[in-house]
Amino acid sequence: MFYWFVKGIFFPLVHFYFGLTRDGLEHLPRRGPAIVVSNHTSFADAIILGSAAPRAIHFIVLQWMYDRLLIRWFYWGMGTIPVRAEGQDSKGIKRALRVLASGRVLGVFPEGSRSSDGRLSEPRLGAAMIAALSGAPVVPAYIDGARDSLPVGGVFPKPARIHVRFGRPLRFERDRSGSGREALNAFAREMLLAIRRLEPVA
């Protein structure tokens, strides 16, 4: 209930102030588990992606957001999953798998942190590992315009035309060649390529 209450508050901001448009919603399953992976250039990305999707998205966030007592309640209410930036966070992965096992949608920014120049950087293996363990479809998404509104270091979002495009789902095939880590690396790159293909042509 809290998630939809917050989404109702941000809906006017995202749709009228940002002029949000979207396409490719047919690629996001109407029910059942799914992992949405996206580029990450702005602190507003989770709000924008959550507003663009008709289903609730439970985002993976960095642990420091939960360590701030004044805002922990908000992230908890939004059903986010805290993970530590360093190393493999087994507790965070288990929580993410529980979200998917219950038929919900998980949101992951594979790069791990925001891109200051807007370019996609080398992905981490977390999203690929969750996809491999859960078997859930991975829906790539590209957010265009968020960096123009609220770039890294920005304080208040400026009006901008923002568009979100969802792409065809990917699946981690268990019979991939190579070692476990090689297979995860290959799928992580495949996800990044799928996101890059959604980028508008200049």
Q: Which residues are catalytic?
A: 40
Alpha-carbon distance values, 183 to 28, 90, 132, 188 (Å): 24, 19, 9, 9
Q: Which 8-state DSSP code applies to residue 159?
A: P
Contacts of 49 (CB under 8 A, 6+ apart): 36, 38, 57, 107, 141, 143, 164
Task: State how far the Cα of 186 lies from the Cα of 181, in Å rounded to an integer.
Answer: 9
105: three-class secondary structure by DSSP: strand
Q: How far is CA 171 from each of CA 36, 44, 135, rounded to the nearest angstrom?
A: 12, 27, 7
Distance CA 113, CA 116 (A): 9
- Spatial separation of the C-alpha atoms in residues 39 and 191, rounded to whole Å: 10
CB 160 within 8 A of CB 18: yes
Place of tokens 């790159």: 189
